[in-house]
Chains A and B, each alone.
Chain A
Amino acid sequence: MAKHHIETTVNGDEIEFLCETEETLLDVLRDTLHLTGSKEGCASGDCGACSVMLDGRLVCSCLVLGCEVGGRRVETIEGMAKGEKLHPLQQRFLEHAALQCGICTPGFLVASKALLERTPDPTEHEIRYWLAGNLCRCTGYDKIVSAVMDAAVTMRKG
């Protein structure tokens, strides 16, 4: 069977790629488009390391097929910093030492950004529930949650 020819938008750029039916969006991002910021922690929807935005919704890219994204809008961690300028969330994660090995970090950042865009002033409780699908095995969640709370303050000040 011939590969699927997909035209889509990734981080604002119109792009095209070829993929097999079984390839996930995560496979395509990492192996074909070489956007390796999204990580594969479990490939089963449990860890959130592969989090991306699809048409403005937070999803696990390991549970989306590459051929599903034709004509849609994909946003990944690679689109978060503007050139050299880090997003406030990225800045706060560094300052709060909210990462160690960093495997979970892109997923946490993408998921947190999605939260702050709809809930600019979240409670700690809201943050913890929103991020329940993002697992971290080394840093611990307290530093991550503080970084998100702090970034929210920065972002509210604009």
Chain B
Amino acid sequence: MRYEAPESLEGAVALLAGATGEARVLAGGTDLLVQMRADIVDPELIVDIKKIAETRAVTEEQGGWRIGAAVTGAELKEHARLKQAWPGVVEAANLIGSTQVQGRATLGGNLCNGSPAADSVPALIAAGAVATLAGPQGKRDLPVEDVMLGPRKLALRKGEILVSFLLPPRPPRSSDAYLRFIPRTEMDIAVVGAGVSVTIDGAGTITAARVSLGAVAARVLLVPEAARAIVGSRLDAAAQQRLETAARAACQPIDDKRGTTEFRIDVAGVLTRRAALIALDRARAN
């Protein structure tokens, strides 16, 4: 097994594109090294992307934020201004694993691992984040909801790397929130995850919303019907009810010992409503 740690995107793309056997990007390794140890993957080449500056930076861009794919959860937590603009994205990233895992785990790895239960993904989708990819044909942008196609299946082509995420500019009175249900209080995989982002006008009416659900289908879902259920409302009881119903209608969950189908569908409605209320509260304070 070969290990390379190129300092440029071009170098990393060339290595991945030229690989004859299985090649893997290494970010924090909190999924990859576990899977290698369990013989689930056995790459011939590992390309560590952490020396590539673009993957490690958090910068303001066009009034929004660009977050490098290899920035760790611990680093996001310390970024006060990012947290102010996107508290839901940061709190979702910070739910991943323990303090030790936070020291390594990245947003790029969370998405590219291809798990429908990945915690940061619903928050990124609710935020309207766009993923910037670099490959042999150059760069391209893809909305985060189009990156994961199914469990372990990604839209990335051979040789492509996820470089960064762009979070759009925030209008005044906007905010977001992410909630998940796990049977324990820490260190567990989401049974349901719900991300909600809202913008309100001066009167408190929701003018824009995005809702995303994790762990209730083969991929993390963007749920436009749930967003439509609350736009134009002030999230009164009737709107909350419509939101719950729309969120539940989008679910096609698995049935296992951690959560039955019925339970996951029910909880998806509850968490979506609660996340929307938190996002709304935060938006009022902005």
Q: At the interface, yes or no: A111 with Cβ under 8 Å from chain B?
A: yes
Cβ-neighbour of B37 out of A4, A44, A59, A134 (below 8 A): A44
Check B30–A22 contact: CB distance below 8 A: no
Q: Which residues from chain B contact A35 at a C-beta distance below 8 Å?
A: none
Q: Which residues from chain A contact B74 at a C-beta distance below 8 Å?
A: 57
Check A21–B104 contact: CB distance below 8 A: no
Q: Which residue of A lies closest to B28 (CB)?
A: A63
Cβ-neighbour of A65 out of B33, B100, B186 (below 8 A): B33
Q: Which residues from chain B contact A43 at a C-beta distance below 8 Å?
A: 37
In this complex, how many residues of chain A approach chain B with their Cβ under 8 Å: the count is 32
Q: At the interface, yes or no: A124 with Cβ under 8 Å from chain B?
A: no
Q: Which residues from chain B contact A24 at a C-beta distance below 8 Å?
A: 33
Cβ-neighbour of A44 out of B5, B34, B48 (below 8 A): B34
How many pairs of residues, A versus B, come closer than 8 Å at their CB atoms? 83
Q: Which residues from chain B contact A37 at a C-beta distance below 8 Å?
A: none
Most B CB contacts (10 A, CB to CB) among A21, A24, A45, A46 go to A45
Check A133–B3 contact: CB distance below 8 A: no
Check A132–B99 contact: CB distance below 8 A: yes
Q: A residues engaging B (CB < 8 A)?
A: 1, 4, 20-22, 24, 43-46, 48, 51, 54, 57-60, 62-65, 67-68, 111, 114-115, 129-134
A-B contacts, 13 of them at CB < 8 A, read A1-B1, A21-B2, A22-B1, A24-B33, A43-B37, A44-B38, A45-B30, A59-B103, A64-B104, A65-B48, A68-B26, A114-B99, A134-B98
Check B99–A58 contact: CB distance below 8 A: yes
Q: Which residues from chain B contact A44 at a C-beta distance below 8 Å?
A: 34, 37-38
Q: Which residues from chain B contact A130 at a C-beta distance below 8 Å?
A: 99
B15 CB to nearest A CB, Å: 14
